[in-house]
Chain A
Amino acid sequence: MKAWLIALCAIITRENLRFVRQRGRFLAALVRPLVWLIVFAAGFRAALGVSIIPPYQTYITYEVYILPGLCGMIQLFNGMQSSLSLVYDQEMGSMRLLLTSPLPRWWLLFSKLLAGVIVSILQVAVFLGIAALTGITVPLSGYIAVLPALLVSGLMLGALGLLISSTVRQLENFAGVMNFVIFPMFFLSSALYPLWKMAESSPLLHDICALNPFTYAVELIRFALYGELNLTALAWVSTCFVLFMLAALWGYDPARAMLRSKG
């Protein structure tokens, strides 16, 4: 067990060092949600009135509403970024190094996943700090309560990235992931507008949003930021995490790898 933890620490240290070194990636991860928060939200504030819905106790501004969705956005992009780096690692060979370690493959992949989630939580922490500086805050206890929610949602989104990386074998194919995974997941969720608002426009789109795991990741974060636990969201996110992870492990199974490798 000690060897397992040592390997976990080595992988987490490496991922965090890589992240710290890649300042451009860090800035991009922050600029994207900050543009939404500061620029788009200002524009949409007048167009989109948000009524009192749980977990909010009073009328809120649009900036306050989209804050959890933007936290989710950071984790979604980070999950896909990790997936991209896994595909890169597979092409460049460093994935081979990881997988030839004498530890169970599921543990190595889980460690890689967890390392990416920790990076995403650091990004969210900095984002929430900047949002607080601009006056968009949540209750103080929410900053602590959101950590386990971010861990669970990050694991689910990271597992999705892992699953994608087990099927996408070349970097060139990755643009498709952006178009077909990130954007639909983000826009067909409750990140930018509450689901009841979507139902007013299109019941079909509302139903799609209600099936989107990202919606539940956002709601888990939203409730946690106000010190509440959304059990439905937790159940959805946890179930999706388990399913994505099992499918990813199946994709990385050495016995299955022989079917897709060229040699």
Chain B
Amino acid sequence: MIGLEISHVSHSYGSRKALDNVSFSVAAGRFCALLGPNGAGKSTLFALLTRLIATGEGHISVAGFDIARDPRAALARIGVVFQQPTLDLDMTVRRNLRYFAGLHGLAGRQAALATEAALEQLGMAERADEQVRALNGGHRRRMEIARALIHGPQVLLLDEPTVGLDAASRQAITDHVHLLAEAGLAVLWATHLVDEIRPADQVVVLHRGKVLSDGSAEDLAGGQGLAKAFLSMTAEGREVPA
């Protein structure tokens, strides 16, 4: 089953083309790493996937719903963790989650159950009544992932979610999101760090707005290792195929 399908999507800021004919799909139960150096177009793609911006070129569908024609149905099936933290630091963890539940139309007992389930899932139940300001970076990120899961999405988008975290927190979050994919979510994980990717993961390499490669990490790495393969594909001066 296809969780996320991106088909011939292009987007420009004035004369600068940020995305050029981007196509790939992520099946339910797959962890897909969107790998690209800074400025590759990852954040633009995320803004399009969450309909913060719209484009007239190409199609995006989430769990079968076209984001341009049926944005509400598509957005209801997406959980998103942005690169920038989007938490209210002065509210408690639980209060932050309840606010988000409300934005997705969950209230009362339904919201309470969904909040507790998300907190349990991310091992954050004990911190639920603490102010977010008191949490470290790793716990804040975990909380954002918990929040993204509250409404039971089918697709989880994470835009460089481990930026600024220590090695242990990065490892814990990467492992956890892999488990979420194994449980059936379609996960799109934007990163430029190859050590967050496992051999069986799907990898889409995005460079200067174009998809250079779409396949398993193992195949992409060949015999030389993923980091080397990625660097050689995106090295300065290397031509980007038309």
Give residues in A with beta carbon < 8 Å to B: 2-4, 6-7, 9-11, 13-14, 17-18, 21, 92-94, 96-104, 108, 254-255, 257-259, 261-263
CB distance from B191 to the nearest CB of A (A): 17
Is there contact, CB below 8 Å, between A10 and B99?
yes
Choose from A92, A99, A104 the contact partner of B52 (Cβ within 8 Å). A99
CB distance from B111 to the nearest CB of A (A): 8
Indicate the size class of the contact surface on chain B: 35 or more
Q: Which residues of A contact B225 (CB under 8 A)?
A: none
Q: Which residues of B contact A18 (CB under 8 A)?
A: 88, 90
Q: Which residue of A lies closest to B209 (CB)?
A: A263
Q: Which of A97, A261, A262 has the most CB of B within 10 A?
A: A97
CB distance from B59 to the nearest CB of A (A): 15
Q: Which residues of B contact A103 (CB under 8 A)?
A: 72, 103, 105
Is there contact, CB below 8 Å, between A100 and B78?
yes
Q: Bound complex: CA of A46 vs CA of B54, how far in Å?
A: 59
Is there contact, CB below 8 Å, between A102 and B52?
no
Q: Which residues of B contact A108 (CB under 8 A)?
A: 103
CB distance from A262 to the nearest CB of B (A): 6
Give residues in B with beta carbon < 8 Å to A: 11, 13-14, 18, 41, 43-44, 47, 50-56, 71-76, 78, 80, 82, 84-88, 90-91, 95, 98-107
What secondary structure prevails in chain A residues at the interface with B? helix
* Contact A263 to B41, CB < 8 A, known contacts A6-B106, A94-B86: yes
Q: Bound complex: CA of A10 vs CA of B95, how far in Å?
A: 10
Q: Which residues of B contact A257 (CB under 8 A)?
A: 52-54
Is there contact, CB below 8 Å, between B50 and A96?
yes
Is there contact, CB below 8 Å, between B88 and A9?
no
Q: Which residue of B lies closest to A93 (CB)?
A: B84
* Contact A100 to B41, CB < 8 A, known contacts A6-B102, A262-B13: no
Is there contact, CB below 8 Å, between A263 and B98?
no
Q: Which residues of B contact A99 (CB under 8 A)?
A: 51-52
CB distance from A17 to the nearest CB of B (A): 7
Is there contact, CB below 8 Å, between B99 and A13?
yes
CB distance from B190 to the nearest CB of A (A): 13
Is there contact, CB below 8 Å, between B105 and A261?
no
Is there contact, CB below 8 Å, between A3 and B105?
yes
Q: Bound complex: CA of A262 vs CA of B44, how far in Å?
A: 8
If A9-B102, A21-B90 are given as contacts, then 10 extra A-B residue pairs at C-beta distance below 8 Å, sorted by A number, are: A2-B105, A13-B102, A14-B91, A97-B86, A99-B52, A101-B104, A102-B71, A102-B73, A261-B47, A263-B41
Is there contact, CB below 8 Å, between B86 and A10?
no
* Contact A100 to B80, CB < 8 A, known contacts A10-B103, A93-B86: yes
Is there contact, CB below 8 Å, between B107 and A258?
no
Q: Which residues of A contact B99 (CB under 8 A)?
A: 10, 13-14
Is there contact, CB below 8 Å, between A10 and B75?
no
